[in-house]
Amino acid sequence: MNALAATNRNFKLASRLLGLDSKLEKSLLIPFREIKVECTIPKDDGTLQSYVGFRVQHDNARGPMKGGIRYHPEVDPDEVNALAQLMTWKTAVANIPYGGAKGGIGCDPAELSISELERLTRVFTQKIHDLIGTHTDVPAPDMGTGPQTMAWILDEYSKFHGYSPAVVTGKPIDLGGSLGREAATGRGVLFATEALLNEHGKGVSGQRFVIQGFGNVGSWAAQLISEKGGKVVAVSDISGAIKNSKGLDIPSLLEHSKIHKGVKGFHGADPISPNSILVEDCDVLVPAALGGVINRENANQIKAKFIVEAANHPTDPEADEILKKKGVVILPDIYANSGGVTVSYFEWVQNIQGFMWNEEKVNNELGNYMTKGFKDVKEMCKTHDCDLRMGAFTLAVNRVARATVLRGWEA
233 Cβ neighbours under 8 A, 6+ residues apart: 208, 209, 210, 243, 244, 245, 246, 247, 248, 280, 281, 282
How many residues comprise the chain?
411
Residue 223 Cα distances to 186, 209, 211, 341, 406, angstroms: 9, 12, 11, 20, 43
Residues carrying an active site annotation: 102
84 Cβ neighbours under 8 A, 6+ residues apart: 31, 56, 57, 58, 67, 100, 101, 102, 103
State yes or no: 66 annotated in a binding site: yes
Q: Is the Cβ–Cβ distance between 41 and 48 less than 8 Å?
A: yes
Cα separation, 320 vs 214, whole angstroms = 24
Q: Which long-range contacts (CB under 8 A, 24 or more apart) does 34-43 make?
A: 34/81, 35/103, 35/128, 35/131, 37/124, 37/127, 37/128, 38/127, 39/105, 39/120, 39/123, 39/124, 39/127, 40/123, 41/116, 41/119, 41/120, 41/123, 42/119, 43/116
State yes or no: 164 annotated in a binding site: no
Give Cα 27 to chain centroid, integer Å. Answer: 24
- CB atoms under 10 Å from CB of 1, counted, come to 14
Cα separation, 329 vs 388, whole angstroms = 8
Written as one letter, the residue type at 1 is M
Q: Sheet harboring 329-331: ordered strands across?
A: 270-272, 240-243, 231-237, 208-212, 284-287, 306-308, 329-331
Q: Is the Cβ–Cβ distance between 304 and 284 less than 8 Å?
A: yes
Cα separation, 363 vs 325, whole angstroms = 36
Ranges of beta strands (E only) in 176-313 are 208-212, 231-237, 240-243, 270-272, 284-287, 306-308
State yes or no: 185 annotated in a binding site: yes
State yes or no: 216 annotated in a binding site: yes
Annotated binding residues, written as ranges, equal 66, 90, 185, 216, 344
Annotated binding residues for NAD(+), written as ranges, equal 185, 216
